[in-house]
Structure 1
Amino acid sequence: MSRSVTFAALILSCLSALTAVAEAVSWPWHPTGPGDVCKLIAASVSSASEVHYPNATSYDFDNYHFASSSSQSSECSVEPGTAEDVAAIVSATRTPFAIKSGGHNTNPNFSSTTGVQIALTRLNNISIDPTAQTATIGAGLIYDEVYAALEEHDVMILGSRATGIGVGGFILGGGYSFLSNEYGLTVDTVRAFELVLPNGTISAVTDTSDPDLFWALKGGHNNFGIVTQFTMDTFPIGQVWGGSVMLPTTDYDAVKNATLHFWNNAADPKADVMVGFTAAQNQTLIEVDLFYDGPAPPEGLFDGFMDIPDAAQNMSAMTVRSYLSMVQSAGTNATAGMRGYFDTVSITDLSSSFFDAVLNETTYWYRTLSSEVPDVVVHYDVEPFLQNVYSHASADSSAWPPRRDQHFTPMLIYYGWTSPNNDELINQVMQQSSRTLTELAIGEGQDVSNTPLYNNYALYSNPVESMYGDSLGRLRQVRARYDPWRIMDLAGGWKF
């Protein structure tokens, strides 16, 4: 059943509130800019919500992003505490706005603005339905909070493999998890979205209530309104095994052989591997993350990694632990506060020569940039998911990925730096590097010309066609039906 707040009722409410505010502050009847809209919002929302202004601690928190290049100084920030207040905010806001869940999107203007910053942090509810085997979670939570709560009930949802990630953007973009080989993408496990539409309607969107909108929200981000909570499938969880270690490049050949062996032979859906290269402070290190959904992996599964001589002294990090402890084991927040961009390349095979090229891109661009950008951090990783990772849902079950008939796996590319003077240089370098790796994959015979890029990793300069492919036409139709006024175009993100 949908909970409906009619647009007319909201307008009357806003006008009533505006009249009261106008009597006190003598401002125009129609808000003329973000500052007026902030005052209108403050007068329209309930006591469950709050508006903050510059120099307030909460304002700084609401505008903060993992990458400082993604943070902006908004006119005000608003923390809605209810879906009804989100509806009031949407109805009042006709100036640029942004929606922030966790703040890890590194694309400028995607979840930040100089207008009205909507921070969903107060939408932090968590409830578990053991009979339905679901969990309902607020869109303002970070996964660390969700994992901690669910572990107490021996269940888990699919979600981020890194600490500090907000649930909102992660789920709406697709979502790869340590459990994806076992259960699919995070969007494959969504049962329902609570969505505030641009007309102020609050609706529970499911595959039966509105199949087109449900499909579009599964990968289509914020183009259809503001999601305030998600109902997700839960899965049994106990102690897991794994961890993260850093190794010297003298172990490169052994790591490469172990990774290629896993790519070509692994079939256990409980296993997951990530291997990355990080160049910073005049050295390059190899990061190996191993995961197994159980207290111990089967004998031989990770031997190629565990038998690396230099790794033996560090492999104490690979241990039995909670799922939350596993997610927090890697130092993924080490560069928080620096400027930064993500990008991605999708590959369908992992050869020895391609693996060599990934390391070469890491070291080459670090050496090339380090004289001009002395504090630069360069990171590339490969994520060898199993061949059947997309088979857990039907072919046309989600807007992203736009195709499931092809096995592909995303690479994560990350550059960090501190000076805004280097923003354009880094953007150009990352585009060039992504092209180099894509052309190499094509040269090796990989059919990646129509392979979708992972939108949660993709750099802002990538065209939406490269991510959504054949889904774009249907996405535009759904957007036209639910947002003919193009209100959500005032917010950042991938736009269709």
Structure 2
Amino acid sequence: MCSLLMISSFIALAVAISPELSPRGSVLDVCKQIAGSISSASDVFFPLEFQYNNDIAHWASSSTQNAVCSIEPGTAEDVGVILQILGETQTPFAVKGGGHASNPGFSSTTGIQIAMSRFSDVSYNATSQTVTFGSGLIWDDVYAALEPLGVNVVGGRVTGVGVAGFTLGGGYSWKTNQFGLTIDTVEAFELVLPNGTVTNVTSSSNPDLFFALKGGFNNYGVVTKFTVNAFPQTQVWGGLITFTQDYLEAVNNATLKFATEVTDPKASIITTYNFLLGEAGVSQLLFYDGPTPPSGIFDDFLAIQSFTSDVSTRSFLSLVQASPSNATSGTRAIFHTVSLLEYSASMLDAVLNETTFWGERLGLDSATFISYDVEPFLPSVFSHGSDSAYPPDRSRGLLPLNIYFAWTLPTSDDIMQDAALQSASFLTQKAVAGGQDITDAALYGNYAIFSTQLSQIYGSNLARLQTIKAQYDPQNVMGLAGGWKL
């Protein structure tokens, strides 16, 4: 733990970036109070310290803010102490897991940054066929720990994604067609309630809170551990293929055929239309949950002349790390989304046209990368799980189209965010005009832009979630943190 002497040496710098005073003193005073209250398993860090910089850093630079101090709790009990002090002093804070949130302020703050990096254990219980892992990990860490054991979990598809926000928001995986969303495989959450109490939440111990945590993000406290179902894991087949703009139509056709004809739940793809360096292109992630796919599933993709390809039989971790998601790490970024029922030829053409339109238009506003991720899933995608905060309606499957814009200049923030909103609106109208009944389709919270209304994510579940929130956080302590606030 930082000594109070060390804390005082950072006062001048911390005050310079301190937000408004909380009712019971400055945020810096709260940092010192926490430093004197937590155990030796935890630490408080200040600007100019190396660990502080790690604690506030995010995958998107636009999601990074200068906190007055950062805290790395080492025990759930210390998280409880921290939450009690933050609630009593009404101090703004944020909780960061892997740091992959694209929405500004969702896991960052100018108040007190809590970094969950010390919650990094992974354990496998062969008897219960479950895996328990800490909320400070990224999925790469979990897969690496499980690989020697021949088991796996339903988690992230690309490298660098944190387990916490991903899971608490839903979690679309390479294995989702087989087993559902990540939340559909959760057996228990270790949760620190806003009053500081540490509790184990299961479907039997607390069904309301269990329901709320499955898609309810950080509204109910701080999750320190997840226990999820484990599944046998062999080698898999797949990888990344890139194509130049000459083959966009061919990739469109192959994507449409896959989305409308392939029913094997072990097969999955992500088709990413992108605009980079003044030119449209496409990258293709292929996945089959086995060493060799049956003939016919991916043949159309493999027949197209590629620019690069690393498709092979490999470990699951190797395939996840083949994704290019870290290529734009450190730039400013925003996500948004459209929920579709299906992909048609006209819909894929519209997505491709949007990629080129915004790529050409936003180049003068410091745009570095424009992309649209087409993620087909089977119509049965929501049939694997039970009642949960997200999705509010499991009677029909939804396909979350991910819009992702990256740029360099802070002065372009509003322009990029507005463009993402315009594009999502246009594609929604295009889908409706094509006969898709998606006017009230729930948006995926992990992709949705920060201005999205809560009703667009939670639908008819919103009132129930707010009631549960009032029961477990009557003082609205978690309202001091960013995110989708109930």
- For the criterion TM > 0.5, the same-fold answer is yes
* Other structure's SS at 1:181 match: helix
Please name the residue that 1:459 is paired with.
Answer: 449
Deviates more, 1:85-94 or 1:208-217: 85-94
Please name the residue that 1:320 is paired with.
Answer: 313
Please name the residue that 1:227 is paired with.
Answer: 223
* Other structure's SS at 1:461 match: coil
Partner residue of 1:391 out of 375, 383, 387: 383
* Other structure's SS at 1:286 match: strand
2:421 is the counterpart of 1:428: no
Please name the residue that 2:370 is paired with.
Answer: 378
Gaps of 5+ in 1: 1-16
Alpha-carbon distance in structure 2 between the residues aligned to 1:381 and 1:169: 19
Partner residue of 1:85 out of 72, 78, 87: 78
Please name the residue that 1:408 is paired with.
Answer: 398
Alpha-carbon distance in structure 2 between the residues aligned to 1:165 and 1:276: 17
Please name the residue that 1:6 is paired with.
Answer: none
Identity %: 49
Could you tell me how far 1:31 is from its partner in structure 2? Answer: 4.4
Could you tell me how far 1:250 is from its partner in structure 2? Answer: 1.3
Alpha-carbon distance in structure 2 between the residues aligned to 1:307 and 1:169: 37
Cα shift readout 1:108-151 (whole Å, capped 9, x = no counterpart): 11000000000000011111101100011000011111000011
Partner residue of 1:74 out of 67, 70, 80: 67
* TM-score (normalizing by structure 1): 0.92
Number of equivalences: 467
Could you tell me how far 1:376 is from its partner in structure 2? Answer: 2.7
Alpha-carbon distance in structure 1 between the residues aligned to 2:296 and 2:138: 35
Partner residue of 2:481 out of 471, 491, 494: 491
Q: Contact 2:380/2:396 (CA < 8 Å) preserved in 1? A: no
* Other structure's SS at 1:72 match: coil
* Residues 203-242 of structure 1 mapped to structure 2, 5 A cutoff: 203-242=199-238
Alpha-carbon distance in structure 1 between the residues aligned to 2:160 and 2:397: 29
* Other structure's SS at 2:301 match: helix
Corresponding letter in the other structure for 1:465: S
Partner residue of 1:34 out of 27, 35, 60: 27
| Runs of 4+ that moved beyond 6 A | none
2:169 is the counterpart of 1:173: yes
Alpha-carbon distance in structure 1 between the residues aligned to 2:418 and 2:248: 28
Could you tell me how far 1:469 is from its partner in structure 2? Answer: 0.4
Corresponding letter in the other structure for 2:377: F
Please name the residue that 1:53 is paired with.
Answer: 46
Partner residue of 1:148 out of 137, 144, 149: 144
Corresponding letter in the other structure for 2:375: E
Cα shift readout 1:346-374 (whole Å, capped 9, x = no counterpart): 1112111110010100100111111232x
CA RMSD of aligned residues (A): 1.7
Q: Contact 2:202/2:210 (CA < 8 Å) preserved in 1? A: yes
Cα shift readout 1:310-353 (whole Å, capped 9, x = no counterpart): 13x744x1100100001000111011100000111111121111
Cα shift readout 1:148-168 (whole Å, capped 9, x = no counterpart): 001110000111111111111
Alpha-carbon distance in structure 1 between the residues aligned to 2:96 and 2:397: 31
Cα shift readout 1:267-296 (whole Å, capped 9, x = no counterpart): 111010110111021111101110000000
Corresponding letter in the other structure for 1:90: L
Alpha-carbon distance in structure 1 between the residues aligned to 2:117 and 2:389: 26
2:127 is the counterpart of 1:131: yes
2:150 is the counterpart of 1:157: no
Alpha-carbon distance in structure 1 between the residues aligned to 2:451 and 2:254: 34
Partner residue of 2:109 out of 96, 110, 113: 113
Please name the residue that 1:10 is paired with.
Answer: none
Partner residue of 1:43 out of 29, 33, 36: 36
Alpha-carbon distance in structure 1 between the residues aligned to 2:365 and 2:152: 45
2:412 is the counterpart of 1:418: no
Alpha-carbon distance in structure 1 between the residues aligned to 2:468 and 2:451: 24
Please name the residue that 2:463 is paired with.
Answer: 473
Corresponding letter in the other structure for 1:467: I
Alpha-carbon distance in structure 2 between the residues aligned to 1:261 and 1:417: 33
Alpha-carbon distance in structure 2 between the residues aligned to 1:357 and 1:33: 51
